[in-house]
Amino acid sequence: MTANPPTPPTDTDTDQYVPLPDARIVATRALLTARENIRDTIAARAMTCIHGGAGVGKTLAVNACLRELEPDEDVRRITFRARPTARAVRHELHAALGLPGTPPRHPSEFDHLLKQALARHPRTLLVDEAQWLNGEAVEYFRFLHDERTTDFAIVFVGGEGCHTTLRKQPMLASRIFIWQHVTRLTPTEVKDVIPSYHPLWASADPDDIAYADRHATHGNFRAWARLTAHTLTALTHTGRTTVDCDTLRWAFSRLG
């Protein structure tokens, strides 16, 4: 596996939770692993599951890797916010695939339409927030993927409950090609990647970065994004140009 990351896009090209001008995607261990896993999953037209705690950068990493590995028109993204029925999955797929006309009323007709659409040319489905899937929805994805004529890969992405949710369905779990658990950044990773994440940290004292991680961010990328935004505000208010413990403590006070 190559350790060279893709050319890091700025924040405007990514899906970061907190909009940060000049923020960049950094080549964490999790991102490099995800790129290898997604590449192999796409090649096998298989299913993979990338899961972990809130704010560790799962969806951002997957989207960045898919943009590098697949043409955008071949990727379809679906996000669930509640436990969907098979009917809801059908309708989400109809919209995600951009199928014309009114969705069919009868399940068998709808299934035939989706199978035809997923057989026309290779695709990759990104199913985000997969911890919300119930058994019926999980089995429906398996039903479509098992169809001999369909030709698509699935990347399930979800929170800590995602692994348990998919494991509860043995028929699908046995077909998961790769499982990847994304964890928090280690202190060593923080020291290595945070200076590249945003210019604010490029000029910061490494001890101040370590101090921020110990007291506020704890290896969580979303927390780093929030801290970066508040620290930039602190510098603007005080007229200072570099990070120090005083500005960090002020930013900490906003993080609760």
Question: What's the pLDDT at 12?
Answer: 38
CA–CA separation, 80 vs 104, rounded Å?
A: 21
Cα separation, 47 vs 176, whole angstroms: 5
CA distances in angstroms from 26 to 56, 163, 216, listed in the order given: 13, 25, 20
Q: How far apart are CA 25 and CA 13, in angstroms?
A: 10
* The two three-digit tokens of residue 22, written as one number: 């000049």
Question: Could you tell me if 73 and 96 are in contact, meaning their C-beta atoms sit under 8 angstroms apart?
Answer: no
- Report how many helices (DSSP H) and strands (DSSP E) the chain contains, helices first: 12, 5
pLDDT of residue 92: 95
pLDDT value for 7: 44
pLDDT value for 2 = 36
* Residue 164: closest CA among 133, 126, 125: 133
CB atoms under 10 Å from CB of 181, counted, come to: 16
How far is CA 143 from its chain centroid? 24
3-state secondary structure of 39: helix
Give the mean pLDDT per block of 10 residues along the chain (256 residues): 42 59 91 97 97 94 95 93 91 96 95 96 95 94 96 96 93 96 96 96 95 96 94 91 91 88
pTM above 0.75, yes or no: yes
What is the predicted pLDDT for the residue at 15?
59
Q: Which two tokens stand for residue 85?
A: 């029925």
